[in-house]
Structure 1
């Protein structure tokens, strides 16, 4: 499939796909006229790349761990340690976000209670 179709199906820009190729995260074949052609599996791969980027994984790490995530094979124990470290970092990020959400919920509940009493809510 062409680059525009991959972009449309995966929800990313054509520019992002070109960047992924530059970073060796995605591969395409070139037609005789120079157009990129991607396999059908490219859409799922791009979505996975996007998930990893959103989780804060840098492209240099994605390039190392993507083959393991795609095939399930772990090449070295060092790479397995890297995967575990990324997972642990993401777990910590999730914990931090949950704590922040809980604090916001408490603040919202307190503000709503004061508003119900007719007291003004003042932000500090």
Structure 2
């Protein structure tokens, strides 16, 4: 768990990455991607292809697990908090765009809970 890296007042969230933290985050992403309900969150939502004209209005910051993984690998994140915020954005977007009866909404809640347990 990444909580093992916690220090007083969770200062580590805003500190630079250590090798151990990067490895832990890569492991966490691997677990998220392997989860049986993650399929809707693996790649960017093809909103233009699907004709979802209001998608960017409701979800102005699209996010998905492959984008998070790419940003982690290319060292775009300077702190763990940035990655945490992006992963949470995936689930926020899914819950904001899809109504509670839709599988994407329900799966976002379930995968978010799984993520928070791992984090």
TM-score by length of 2: 0.25
Structure with the greater relative contact order (CA < 8 A, sep ≥ 6): 1 or 2? Answer: 2
TM-score by length of 1: 0.24
